[in-house]
Amino acid sequence: MLTTRETLTRSEDGVFSIDQAADEELLLRYRETGQQEYFSQLVRRYERELYNYLCKYLGNADMAEDVFQATFVQLHLKCEQFQEGRRFRPWLYAVATNQAIDYQRRNRRHRILSLDGGGHSEDNAARKFADLLASDVPGPLQQVSAREREAWVATAMAELSETARSVVELVYFQGLKYREAAEVLGVPVGTVKSRLHSAIARLSTSFEESGLE
């Protein structure tokens, strides 16, 4: 039985609405009933967002597809472990990130943004982060051409450690809050902040040394 806290979202006429239900409600419903429609709704909600995240994280569309499928298999297997009161999105990203790390280890692929990959996912990720920096950081960076910014960002990101890249990816690309990123990575919020601060400092230094000014 669902607890009072787990009462499912209902439409104005009192009928349960799968489209309006929160992610957490859908997972609880799936866990209790086993009905595929609730699980499928979660897949539909996150398929584009999560796939794009995995493309950027892994730098390869085929690998991202494999890990995406593995992530939702794990979701099915681990739904009983979902704790009451926990938010679904950070939990999903934690499962996906762990699956991506395991996949990288098996395939000996450790580059997130590779200049040699030639894939569109890397270009899109670099462009998004470059645009973010260009809009948020005043000064010389705004005067650099888009192509130069993309090349610089791709190079600078590739030089970051895996832990630093993960934080930048989650906070900047996916828009997770510090607390949510901490849940995904399994580290304290303070660690997320310090890693992000160090990563941005490293990127700033890299820009100063790039000669693009």
Give how many domains the chain has, as a whole number: 2
For the domain that residue 28 is a member of, what is the CATH number? 1.10.1740.10
Q: What is the pLDDT of residue 16?
A: 65
Instruction: Please give the radius of gyration of the chain, using alpha carbons only, rounded to the nearest integer.
Output: 19
What pLDDT tens digit does each residue of the chain (213 aa) get?
343 333 444 544 455 688 889 999 999 999 998 888 899 899 999 999 999 999 888 888 888 888 998 898 888 888 888 888 889 999 999 999 989 888 887 775 444 444 334 444 434 443 444 444 444 443 444 444 556 766 777 777 778 888 888 888 888 777 788 888 898 898 998 888 888 878 877 777 777 676 655
Phi, psi torsion values for 115, nearest 5 degrees: -70, -20
Domain that holds residue 83: 18-107
| Domain end call among 107, 135, 155 | 107
Q: What is the pLDDT of residue 150?
A: 66
Neighbours of 206 (CB within 10 A): 16
Q: What is the pLDDT of residue 135?
A: 43
For the domain that residue 179 is a member of, what is the CATH number? 1.10.10.10
In a shared domain, residues 37 and 102: yes
11 located within any domain: no
5 located within any domain: no
In the chain, the amino acid numbered 179 is R
Distance from C-alpha of 40 to C-alpha of 27, rounded to nearest angstrom: 10
**pTM of this structure:** 0.55
